[in-house]
Amino acid sequence: MPTEAVPLVDRKVVKYHIIAGFVFFYVSLFAGLLYALQLSRIYPFPGVELLSPGRIRMLHTNGVAYGFLFNLFIAAMHWIIPRLTGKPMLSKAITWFVFWAWQGIVGATAFGLLTGRAQAIEWGETPVWIDPVVVVGAACLIVNSATPILRVAKRKLYVTLWYFSAMMVWLPLTYIMGNFVPQYFVPGAGGAAVTGLFIHDLVGLTVTPLGWGMMYYFVPVILKRPIWSHTLSLVGFWGLAFFYPLNGVHHFFWSPIPMYAQYGAVMSTIAVEIVVFTVVVNFFMTIRGKTDMLRTNIALRWFYTGAVYYFITCFQCAFHTTLTLQKLIHFSDWVPGHAHLVMLGVFGFWLLGMVEYLWPRLVGNTMYSKKLSSAAYWLATGGTFVMFLDLLVAGVAQGYLWMNLAQWEKSLILSAPFWHLRTLAGSAIICGILLYGYNMWMTAKNPGTRPVEEGSESVPDQKTEGAPSAARSGSN
């Protein structure tokens, strides 16, 4: 057991990662808005090299992935892993090194992208000279957070830790494969197969395990009841591990990648949806009989809205990765619509829910205003869904125009109203997140004025030995 001198959870680093994540979140959101304005043909900085819309687009996607999502996921790891294992992270020095290294990496990436030094790997546009630094940073993070898990390795682990520890193997493999193999060794269609794997593994084997891992921790803690079915948890985890990495090629259907790989990607993508279904069912059975908490607990509301969006986006995936539908929607706005629902609507929402729960516990105040929390939720939820539907419809319309050999400009004229609506929906999301940030600011302003009632923060779980006793020590 940790002594009093070494607290189990380094609350300060959790807080700092959350703050840094939000800084990059705002940068990315406004970058997205700028890019949307270009498509609406009212770009405020035409002909300015450093603010060229193409570069801004890469800032948007990379800022969201590495600045926002990863910072908040690292915060989640620092909060959850010590609580589930009863052991602190390996070293405070490494903890803070990772924090500053990560901000440096994201900052350098933003600088590299805006000065036109991108790498031609989608979701890995990080300039080539930063890639090795990312690997070092990730290695430190993994060593630091794997140590407490290794110390309890003889026990059966709680489901959150299955996801987290598998992620610690997948993240470096994925990153090294995606950023080095197509860059230096494999050209053309073979390289495309590898980048397809990278794009998909980054979402499926890094972001998804982190997201589900934290959901398996926070949902039972807030609901004060165990996850409904341990068996379904197992099915979900092993299904993800087996089928998810096989999907990579579905990003380049009808390309010169050999067709057998494309057929395989169709089948395994459909298989993933079955797995997804088990996980979603598990979570909805867990909340049965307590759904009134969705009205009162806003963190829970973000979590379950994200779960609904998760189901929608994965269900959609099973259809649009068929070779038939690919003829129509590939290359169209359907794809950004899908991507926004996944990255923001699912993982972004889960992390916003986590911050809604953690922030009061970190600054020692209950949230400043429940009304603001709720307004932020509705603006982001509505904005995301409108954007999703809007881009979906735009995508189908564009696909038919292209297929029917209309002049290319016709597809631009047709898209204009859709793109205007997308700009508006995006603005609603930004307003929501601004309210969210303001609420956080006001909560932190006068510490200790509205103390949080410390309830039990252990995971109520009767089905996995080890987890309850380990989690009990989490009330530091």
Question: Within 222-251, which residues bind other proteins (CB under 8 A)?
Answer: 234, 237-238, 241-242, 245-249, 251
Residue 11, classed as helix, strand or coil, is helix
Q: Give the whole-angstrom CA distance, residue 311 versus residue 336.
A: 17
> Which member of 28, 71, 145, 165 binds other proteins (CB under 8 A)?
165
Q: Examine residue 265 and tell whether it contacts other proteins (CB under 8 A).
A: yes
Of 224 and 327, nearer to other proteins (C-beta) is 327
Q: Examine residue 341 and tell whether it contacts other proteins (CB under 8 A).
A: no
Backbone angles phi, psi at 133, to 5 degrees: -65, -40
Of 294 and 335, nearer to other proteins (C-beta) is 335
Please name the residues in contact with 234: beta carbons below 8 A apart, sequence gap of 6 or more: none
Q: Examine residue 55 and tell whether it contacts other proteins (CB under 8 A).
A: yes
Q: Examine residue 364 and tell whether it contacts other proteins (CB under 8 A).
A: no
| CB 56, min distance to other proteins, A | 9
Within 411-450, which residues bind other proteins (CB under 8 A)?
Answer: 412-413, 416, 419
> Which member of 13, 29, 118, 272 binds other proteins (CB under 8 A)?
118
Enclosing H/E stretch for 349: helix 349-363
Of 76 and 199, nearer to other proteins (C-beta) is 199
| CB 250, min distance to other proteins, A | 9
Of 265 and 379, nearer to other proteins (C-beta) is 265
Within 10-49, which residues bind other proteins (CB under 8 A)?
Answer: 38-39, 41, 43, 46-47, 49
| CB 13, min distance to other proteins, A | 24
Q: Give the whole-angstrom CA distance, residue 126 versus residue 281.
A: 37
Backbone angles phi, psi at 200, to 5 degrees: -75, -40
Q: Give the whole-angstrom CA distance, residue 366 versus residue 299.
A: 13
> Which member of 129, 267, 403, 451 binds other proteins (CB under 8 A)?
403
Residue 82, classed as helix, strand or coil, is helix
| CB 47, min distance to other proteins, A | 4
Per-residue b/e over 65-86, b at no fewer than 16 CB within 10 Å? bbbbbbbbbbbbbbbbbbbbbb
Of 11 and 155, nearer to other proteins (C-beta) is 155
Within 266-325, which residues bind other proteins (CB under 8 A)?
Answer: none
Q: CA 300, 303, 308, 311: dihedral to nearest 10 degrees?
A: -150
| The one segment of 1-9, 302-310, 343-351, 402-410 that binds other proteins by CB under 8 A | 402-410
Rama region for 116: left / alpha / beta (φ>0; ψ in -120 to 50; rest): left
- Residue 65 tokens, joined: 């992935």
Q: Which is nearest to 433 in space by CA: 302, 287, 275? A: 302
Q: Examine residue 157 and tell whether it contacts other proteins (CB under 8 A).
A: yes
Of 13 and 34, nearer to other proteins (C-beta) is 34
Within 185-214, which residues bind other proteins (CB under 8 A)?
Answer: 185-197, 201, 205
* Radius of gyration, CA atoms only, the chain: 22
| CB 194, min distance to other proteins, A | 5
> Which member of 93, 136, 150, 267 binds other proteins (CB under 8 A)?
150
| CB 470, min distance to other proteins, A | 13
Q: Which is nearest to 207 in space by CA: 64, 88, 27, 359? A: 64
| CB 226, min distance to other proteins, A | 15
Compute CA distances 279 → 60, 205, 269, whole Å: 30, 16, 16
Q: CA 311, 214, 57, 112: dihedral to nearest 10 degrees?
A: -160
- Residue 311 tokens, joined: 């189901």
Of 39 and 279, nearer to other proteins (C-beta) is 39
> Which member of 166, 308, 389, 431 binds other proteins (CB under 8 A)?
166
Q: Which is nearest to 130 in space by CA: 75, 166, 78, 179? A: 179
Of 97 and 111, nearer to other proteins (C-beta) is 111
Q: Examine residue 255 and tell whether it contacts other proteins (CB under 8 A).
A: yes
| CB 438, min distance to other proteins, A | 32
> Which member of 7, 402, 420, 437 binds other proteins (CB under 8 A)?
402
Q: Examine residue 263 and tell whether it contacts other proteins (CB under 8 A).
A: no
Q: Examine residue 454 and tell whether it contacts other proteins (CB under 8 A).
A: no
Backbone angles phi, psi at 144, to 5 degrees: -60, -45
**Sign (positive or negative) of CA dihedral 62, 168, 103, 359:** positive
Per-residue b/e over 16-50, b at no fewer than 16 CB within 10 Å? bbbebbbbbbbbbbbbbbbbbbbbbeebeeeeeee
> Which member of 117, 225, 290, 472 binds other proteins (CB under 8 A)?
117
Of 93 and 189, nearer to other proteins (C-beta) is 189
Within 72-111, which residues bind other proteins (CB under 8 A)?
Answer: none
Q: How many residues bind other proteins (CB under 8 A)?
A: 96
